[in-house]
Chain A
């Protein structure tokens, strides 16, 4: 798994719970190093090991941890760059949802060896969607739930999300848009550079 993904999990733990908890995770996961390097590749099982360790150390169900990671990725100031990159996807939340199909390709444009799981949006009506996520790590759909929930707030949209199940390495999320101009939303300025 790409270092960026592993590093994101590490940053989630240190930024949200502190350095000490990360040390506990490192010990619980039995890693022989202390920090993930964002630009190196790690063996796939390490990621699962670390996620299980995070769930154990924080004493929270694995799915909740996954959703928290998703929320963290698009809301914490330390990873503001990521929220901005996602906002490039579209001017409205619906457009953003449609841009998710391109997300793995967009990611590869920036980092050529970063392979994100495939995602596919199906629209059943203008306000009813389902997102089908390929899921190499169990619970990837929950990460997407966290991301979508936060991005909906970002766009000022009221949406109801449901994880409708998983199987065969695929997880499905149903998305219902209740109101598209529910709140003000956060400003997205094309030119503002994230620090």
Chain B
């Protein structure tokens, strides 16, 4: 075996992805793994720059240019499909005039092993490629398990939040949810309306017909309020028989009054329960947030409360739109009779 043959055998073992080029830039020998790239169109005898497109360094058209780039990293791409991207480095060969280009798949290795059906034996024993492929698979499997856990946790979180923000009796939002929606709506900084709604004579229903009747009334009232408001409005039950409706996009006061009137009208009809008729009505106080007013959520709810007290003082089944003048009447600042205490907004 000649010295050159020994040398090539060594290269085939140490760098199975090398090619040896002649002075004219033709491939004299291709390592065993390089041969697998084009088993049907052997590289031997063809010009290196005809097989590979040199992406970087740019403007290399001749073998002389290529030799000048010896020792720098070459970014190559096979000209015909599959156009695998390949990294390379050229050094002068053992025989004067010849050069050796060692190649590597770089990051395209994951596709390359599939495209060319490569096995562990196609990489040098010291090459970390197989370890990298192992890592890619192991990480994908681990990520997959993590993602499944995340999805399950996400689902559980949504369910828990849903529960934490829902009034279980009526399915309406609860006070916590109302606080969130209120804060978010204030952040938008646009005009919107807030209604405080109290049921009149609800306590009497509970006392005379029992809690089952009371629960039925609350569920019916909740359904009516949802039906009489828009999907973008928020209806919340914030106390036993106290509700808050947040109405974004309310362009003018008459729109709010129409909604209020519909709710009062529908709730004035008796609610049948097990052969009995439960009679309640709704009192409403409405306040409007004007952009730039600087009102806080608490102040806005308090305004609505003042308007609500005014409605109650005028008799039941009324609605009142808040104006600062309402505060001049002392009775509007205290809870009407029958309410245990002023609510904290």
Q: Which residues of A contact B (CB under 8 A)?
A: 4, 37-40, 81, 84-85, 88, 90-91, 106, 109-111, 188-194
Known contacts A38-B149, A110-B135, A110-B142; A191/B113 CB under 8 A:
yes
In the complex the two chains form, is B138's CB within 8 Å of A40's CB?
Answer: no
The dominant DSSP class at the B interface is: helix
Whether A85 lies near B119 (C-beta < 8 A) is: no
Q: Is the CB of A188 within 8 A of B119?
A: yes
Count of chain B residues near A, Cβ 8 A? 27
Contacts from B to A (Cβ < 8 Å):
110-115, 117-121, 130-131, 133-135, 137-142, 145-146, 148-149, 152
A110 to B142 alpha-carbon distance, docked (Å): 7
Nearest chain B CB to A129's CB is how many angstroms away?
Answer: 21
Contact, CB under 8 Å: A190 / B113: yes
Does A91 lie within 8 Å of B137, measured CB to CB?
A: no
Known: A81-B137, A190-B119. 6 other contacts (CB 8 A): A38-B149, A81-B141, A85-B137, A91-B119, A91-B120, A190-B113
Of chain A, the residue at the smallest CB distance from B129 is A190
7 smallest CB-CB distances across A and B, nearest first, come from: A191-B114, A110-B138, A191-B113, A88-B134, A38-B145, A190-B113, A81-B141
For A85, give its contact among B118, B134, B145, B146 (CB under 8 Å). Answer: B134
Contact call A91/B138, Cβ cutoff below 8 A: no
Is B121 touching A109 in the complex (CB atoms < 8 A)? no
- Chain B contacts for A190, CB-based, 8 A: 113, 118-120, 130, 133
Known: A39-B146, A85-B134, A88-B133. A110 touches B117 (CB 8 A): no
- Number of interchain pairs (Cβ within 8 Å): 61
Cα separation A91 to B121 with both chains bound (whole Å) = 7
A-B contact pairs, 22 of them (CB 8 A): A4-B145, A38-B145, A38-B149, A39-B146, A84-B137, A88-B133, A88-B134, A88-B137, A90-B120, A91-B120, A91-B121, A106-B138, A110-B138, A110-B141, A110-B142, A111-B142, A188-B119, A189-B117, A190-B119, A191-B113, A194-B137, A194-B141
Q: A191 vs B71: C-alpha distance in the bound complex, in angstroms?
A: 31
